[in-house]
Amino acid sequence: MEKKAFNNDKYIEIQSEKIEERIKEFDKLYLEFGGKLFDDAHASRVLPGFLPDSKLQMLKKLKDITEIVIVINANDIESNKIRSDLDIGYDSEVLRLKSAFENLGFFVNSVVITQFDNQPQAIKYAKYLDSLNIKNYKTYDIEGYPNNIPNIISKEGFGKNDYIETQRDLVVVTGPGPGSGKLATCLSQMYLENERGINAGYAKFETFPVWNLPLKHPVNIAYESATADLNDVNMIDPYHLEAYGKTTVNYNRDVEAFPILKQMFERISGSCPYKSPTDMGVNMVGFCIEDEDKTIKASKDEIIRRYYNALVDYKLAKIDFKPVEKIEFLMSGLNLEASDRKVAVRAREKQKQSHVESFAIQLSDGEIVTGKKSTLMSAPAACILNALKKVAGINDDIPLISPHILEPVLKLKEDILKEKDESLSVNDVLIALSISATTNPVTHLAMEKLAYLKNLDVHSTNILDESDKKTLLKMHFNLTQEPVLSQDYINL
C-alpha cells in the first residue's frame, strides 16, 4: 500500500494526549474547535492521509468526559448564511451537527444563539429549537467588545449572557462556520463559571495555520487561500518569539486579539496561563507529516482549486474581487498558474473540439477522461459513465444503461416534471445505472468501480446547476468550474 503523506493514527494519539494534559490544568476546560469538526475536506486535501473525520475520532477517545455546545450567530440565521461546501444553511447545519454527534454517542448539551438582538429569524429559530426540545441559550452584543475590558468583564457585559449549565470536564464549543461566536462563548462561560467558584480554562483546537511549519510553507499558504474572503493573514507570532525566542506561525486575528484576551484572563481568573496565541492552541498536525513532497504538491493543487472557486463566487456575486486578487498574489509567490490544473485544461480542450459544455475527470493514474453535454445527459453525467468504463476496462461501445430504463426516466422529466432541461443529471444517471446493474453484469461491474472515483479532481467548463453540483460533492469529487454561466443556469 502506498505510504500516505500524513500519519493519521499518530495524529489522533498525540492530539488526544495533549488535550488531556490541558484538561488537568483546570476544573473545567472550554475547548474552542476551529475549522470543521466533520467533513474536514480541506485538511484531507492538503494533508494526504488526514481523514475528514480525524478530529471526531480524536474526540471519541475523550467521549466520556466531553459534552458539546454548538453556537450559531443570530446574524447568520437572519441572513440565511450558507455552508458552501455542503450547500446548506448554517441553521440546518447546526441540527445536522447535533444529530451526527448524538448518533456517535456524544452528549450535546445545547445550542447557543450568539449576538442575539431580537432578530426576527433568530427568534423563530429559538422557538423552533424549543419545539424540538433542544435546550438553547442566548448571548448578547456587549458595548465596546472586545476593547472595553472593564465593561466586558462585568454584570453588564458577560454577566448578562445566559449561563450554560455544563456537567463535564471538557466542553467542546463548535459551530457551523467562522464568525459563529465560539471564542466569545468560551470567555463568557469562563467569567460565569468563575462567578460560581469554578476554575474554568480555555484552549483552542485549530488545524491551520500549522504553527511549527514555515510561514510560507504551501500548507499554510493553502489556509490563507481558503480564508481569502475573511482576509486572514498568516504571520509570525511576536508574543511567542518574545517569550521563548522561538519562531512560530499564527494568524492575524489571534495575534491582534491576544492582548485583549490576556487581560480578560487576568480579570476573570487572576492570571493568564498563556504567554502567546500559539500557547493557547493544541495542534500536533506538524509532527505527523511524513512525506513533505506529497504534502507540498497537494497544497499547491488546493490553492489553484481555491482560485477557480473564487472566480465562480465572484461571477455569482457572492464575493467581491479582493479574494480573487489575494489568491492570485499567493499563487504568484509559489509560481503557480491556473493552467497548472491539467484537468481544467483538458476540459476546455474538449469544449473547443465539441462546441458544447464539457467535463473532465483525472483518474488516479493521471489519465484524464472527458464527457460532453448532449440531449440525453449532462456533461458530468456522461463523463462519469466514460470514467467508469475506463476504470472497469469496459469497451467504450458497450452501453451501461438499457434504453428500456432511460426512456421512462426521460418521459417523466419531459411530460410530468416539465423540466426545462430534459437531459439526465448525474443523480438521474446514477439511479438508472443502479437499476440496470440488477440485471446487467457489465453495468454491475461498473457500479462496483464507483468508489474508485472518490476524491478525484474534476472540472466543468461552465457553472453547473445545483442538482449536478450537489451530487458531485456528495460523491467527494474535487470540483472546479469555469466562471461561465450556461443557458440552463440562467433559466433556473
At residue 39, does pLDDT exceed 80?
no
Residue with cell 426512456: 407
Question: How confident is the model over 401-406, as a mean pLDDT?
Answer: 83
Strands 200-205 and 234-236: unpaired
Which of these ranges, 124-128, 266-270, 478-482, has the smallest mean pLDDT? 266-270
Cβ 265 vs Cβ 274: under 8 Å: yes
Fold of 342-490: Cytidine Deaminase; domain 2 (3.40.140)
Question: How confident is the model over 135-158, as a mean pLDDT?
Answer: 92
Question: How confident is the model over 297-308, as a mean pLDDT?
Answer: 98
Cβ 158 vs Cβ 152: under 8 Å: yes
Q: What is the phi/psi pair of residue 214, to 5°?
A: -60, 155
Give the pTM.
Answer: 0.89
Where does the pLDDT of residue 486 fall: very low under 50, low under 70, confident under 90, or very high at 90 and above? confident
The pLDDT value given to residue 177:
84
The pLDDT value given to residue 340:
98
Average pLDDT of the chain, as a whole number: 92
Where does the pLDDT of residue 40 fall: very low under 50, low under 70, confident under 90, or very high at 90 and above? confident
Question: How confident is the model over 231-241, as a mean pLDDT?
Answer: 95
Q: Which residue has the higher pLDDT, 146 or 392?
A: 392
Where does the pLDDT of residue 421 fall: very low under 50, low under 70, confident under 90, or very high at 90 and above? low
Domain ranges of the chain: 8-223+232-287, 342-490
At residue 491, does pLDDT exceed 60?
no
Q: How far apart are CA 82 and CA 91, in angstroms?
A: 9
The pLDDT value given to residue 487:
64
Q: Which CATH superfamily is domain 8-223+232-287 in?
A: dip2346 domain like (3.10.630.10)
